[in-house]
Amino acid sequence: MPTLRIRSLIAISTAVLIILSPAIATSPDLGKTPQVLLLDRIDLPAGKVAEFASIEAEIAKAYRDAAVPVYWVALQSITGPPHILYFDGFDTFAQMEAAGAAISKAEQSHPDLARMQSDLAQLMQSSQAIVNLRREDLSHRLDRFDIAKFPYVRLTVIQLRSGYEQDFADVLRTIRRAFETEGIESPYLTTHSKPANVST
């Protein structure tokens, strides 16, 4: 599919993000590429990122101190409007449901945690969560993909017009083969949230 035609079929948005180090609550296995990825984008008013990050750091510490078995990586945008992006990785949907139950239980058992979550919510302009599934066939060098260790991440969200999912997947496979032929080591992960929506 020619490049011009590709661009006529998709809407693309790209953001460069930096790891928000104080707000990370990670497990040793979080760097492994998950089968199920929950992406939660939080849009913030201008000038509120530092306050948001401070509260989020307290929340992450509270989860660690209480040994609550939930893990995430938080990233902060350095391009575009201010926002935070959370990566929550799971191997199964059952694990994702268990994490939600653990969070609810923790908030009931620790009133300060529930208060901090409420304070955090007051700073949000909007929030959008999307569940994505890993597409190993459309990704490259996942053995080198460890988001918990990357200082910078580029996220590109691609929305396809209905009916062109297979054509677009074929293009990504061609790109992957080119990377492999040229020996390009830079890893990338491709996920999809539904047939008409691919994130990479």
95-141 pLDDT, tens digit per residue, is: 888 888 888 888 888 888 889 989 999 999 998 888 888 888 888 88
What pLDDT score does 43 carry?
Answer: 92
What pLDDT score does 170 carry?
Answer: 92
pLDDT band, residue 178 (cuts 50/70/90): very high
- β-pairing, 126-134 with 36-43? antiparallel
**Which contacts qualify for 157-161: CB closer than 8 Å, 24 or more apart?**
157/12, 157/13, 157/14, 157/199, 158/10, 158/11, 158/12, 158/197, 158/198, 158/199, 158/200, 159/10, 159/11, 159/12, 159/196, 159/197, 160/9, 160/10, 160/196, 160/197, 160/198, 161/9, 161/10, 161/196
Cα 17 off chain centre by: 10
| Per-domain residue ranges of the chain | 3-199
Of 54-58, 84-88, 89-93, 191-195, where does the model show the most confidence?
A: 54-58
Mean pLDDT of the chain: 78
Token pair for 25: 């609550």
Q: Which residue has the higher pLDDT, 133 or 194?
A: 133
CATH of 3-199, one of 3.40.50.2300, 3.40.1360.10, 3.30.230.10, 3.30.70.100: 3.30.70.100
What pLDDT score does 55 carry?
Answer: 92
Number of Cβ within a 10 Å radius of residue 93: 12
